[in-house]
């Protein structure tokens, strides 16, 4: 499941453990394609990785902090620190390979 969060919640929600954050916008076609793929991937990591999503239009501070210039964009954080930046549309197997190397 992708938990929608805001700029104000981002630091708290990503402070501990592994967190995959999807940066998206409702008008972004590739984002609408990426979300269901990420939902499927999240089912394989229920107890290992938290999955969140943040709307870049409504939450510009976090997007600026991480230098998000294009969407879809996902970042993987470990205990609040950036460990992976994933730009563009990715398929399920590609995402699983990226996530598995950080477990």
Considering the candidates 2, 18, 20, 28, report the single residue annotated as catalytic. 28
Q: Is 27 a catalytic residue?
A: no
pLDDT of 57: 97
User: Which residues, in sequence order, are CB contacts of 76 under 8 Å at separation 6+?
Assistant: 18, 19, 20, 21, 82, 83, 84, 85, 86, 98, 99, 102
pLDDT of 56: 98
pLDDT of 59: 97
Q: What is the domain extent for residue 8?
A: 3-100
Residue 33: which CATH number?
3.40.30.10
pLDDT of 87: 96
Domains contained in the chain, number: 1
Considering the candidates 31, 49, 74, 86, report the single residue annotated as catalytic. 31
Overall average pLDDT of the 91-100 stretch: 97
Instruction: Give me the sheet containing 81-87, strands edge to edge.
Output: 3-4, 49-55, 18-24, 73-78, 81-87
Q: For 92, phi and psi rounded to 5 degrees?
A: -55, -50
7-63 tens-digit pLDDT: 999 999 999 999 999 999 999 999 999 999 999 999 999 999 999 999 999 999 999
Q: Is 28 a catalytic residue?
A: yes
What's the pTM value of the predicted model, to 2 decimals? 0.94
């Amino acid at each position: 499941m992708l938990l929608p969060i805001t700029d104000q919640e981002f630091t708290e929600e990503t402070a501990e453990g592994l967190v995959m954050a999807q940066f998206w916008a409702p008008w972004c076609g590739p984002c609408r394609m990426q979300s269901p793929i990420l939902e499927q991937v999240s089912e394989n990591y229920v107890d290992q990785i938290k999955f969140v999503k943040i709307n870049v239009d409504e939450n510009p501070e976090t997007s600026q902090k991480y230098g998000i210039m294009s969407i879809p964009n996902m970042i993987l954080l470990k205990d609040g620190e950036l460990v992976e930046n994933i730009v563009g549309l990715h398929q399920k197997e590609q995402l699983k390979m990226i996530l598995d190397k950080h477990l």
